[in-house]
Amino acid sequence: MNAFEPHSDDVVHLVDGTGQMDGTDQDSKLAKCQDIIGYQFKDLSLLLSALTHASGASHRLASNERLEFLGDAVLGLVVCRWLFEEYPEYNEGDLTKIKSAVVSRRSCGKVAIQLGLDRCLIVGRGVTRNRSYPRSLVSDVFESVVAAMYLDGGDEIVRQRLKEWLADEVATAVETQGSNNFKSTLQQYAQRDLASTPVYRLVSESGPDHRKAFLISAVIAERQFPAAWGSNKKDAEQHAASNALAELHGLPLPFPDTDS
């Protein structure tokens, strides 16, 4: 398999198939895509369909929309089996949260751009000229390529590739979504990656003595993370740890302080 060579995960690069630049014609895109994914198709028409956006198709059924439909299901099944086999300590609820994060449009789009699949997408000239494309089309091509590989090479090929491409997404989702013991997860992360141990700082408290609420923030090496409320200090610390994990991984805060 060819090396995984990421480029910026913030910028989508689309070029139409006019062939006016080297590497932008249809045949070059097919070759480039096969090089990226480390798989040579027996039936190139499958890959051509997977890479063809509706704007660049001769008719709707020639686009990647049908393959996207199948790819969504294949992706979900492969990730579910992966999580089921490798994380036996997690219950159904945890596995569902992890899986949802891994197969989200955000994750698929990010990985597609890191791989460079956006450069292989066959789109109409107007899409690249006007830059009016929806961001979701990059995640869509990821799903359609997964489906094409599944039909051409079988589930084992897909499983091998996805376990390489989505390894970081799974690890992040497990750390941020997979366990209710967020303090333990944050401590492991901080000690492993930040060479520090989290401490928890009481920011505020409110309510009568018999029904107090506590606002607590996690602090790692003097960096204070967004505080979270809890009906007791134990819950507040768990919520604060969850907020810290989310911020460290660039994800939305699960327990925002709505009063701030």
Q: What percent of the chain has pLDDT over 90?
A: 54
Give yes or no for residue 15 having a pLDDT over 70.
Answer: no
Q: Is 68 annotated as a binding residue?
A: yes
Tens of pLDDT, residues 101-121: 999 999 999 999 999 998 898
Q: Clarify whether 118 is annotated catalytic.
A: no
Confidence at residue 103, expressed as pLDDT on a 0 to 100 scale: 95
Confidence at residue 188, expressed as pLDDT on a 0 to 100 scale: 80
Same fold, 26-176 and 181-248: no
| Helix boundaries (H) for the chain | 26-37, 44-51, 65-86, 92-102, 105-115, 125-130, 136-153, 155-165, 167-177, 182-189, 233-248
Mean pLDDT of the region 6-14? 46
Closest alpha carbon to 231 in 211, 260, 209: 211
Mean pLDDT of the region 163-170? 94
Tens of pLDDT, residues 220-230: 999 999 999 99
- Least confident range of 40-44, 45-49, 75-79, 134-138: 134-138
| Residue 228 contacts residue 243 (beta carbons within 8 Å) | yes
Closest alpha carbon to 121 in 228, 36, 217, 192: 36
Confidence at residue 62, expressed as pLDDT on a 0 to 100 scale: 56
Of the candidate CATH numbers 3.30.160.20, 2.60.40.10, 3.40.50.2020, 3.30.420.40, the domain formed by 181-248 belongs to 3.30.160.20
CATH of domain 26-176: 1.10.1520.10
Mean pLDDT of the region 42-60? 77
Tens of pLDDT, residues 147-165: 999 999 999 999 999 999 9
Domain boundaries, the chain: 26-176, 181-248
Q: 181 pLDDT band (50/70/90 cuts)?
A: confident
Q: Which of 143, 152, 169, 237 is an active site residue?
A: 143
Cβ partners under 8 Å of residue 181, min gap 6: 238
Q: 171 pLDDT band (50/70/90 cuts)?
A: confident
Mean pLDDT of the region 60-67? 74
Q: Is 143 annotated as a binding residue?
A: yes
CB atoms within 10 A of CB 12: 17
Q: Clarify whether 86 is annotated catalytic.
A: no
Confidence at residue 52, expressed as pLDDT on a 0 to 100 scale: 86
DSSP secondary structure, 142-201, as one string: HHHHHHHHHHHH-HHHHHHHHHHHTHHHHHHHHHHHS-S-HHHHHHHHIIIIIS---EEE
**Whole-angstrom Cα distance, residue 24 to residue 76?**
31
Tens of pLDDT, residues 80-90: 999 999 887 67
Give yes or no for residue 23 having a pLDDT over 60.
Answer: no
Give yes or no for residue 19 having a pLDDT over 60.
Answer: no
**Higher-scoring residue by pLDDT: 128, 182:** 182
Q: Which of 16, 25, 65, 72 is an active site residue?
A: 72
Buried b (16+ CB within 10 A) or exposed e, 230-245: beeeebbbbbbbbbbb
- Please tell me the pTM assigned to this model: 0.64
**Higher-scoring residue by pLDDT: 56, 55:** 55
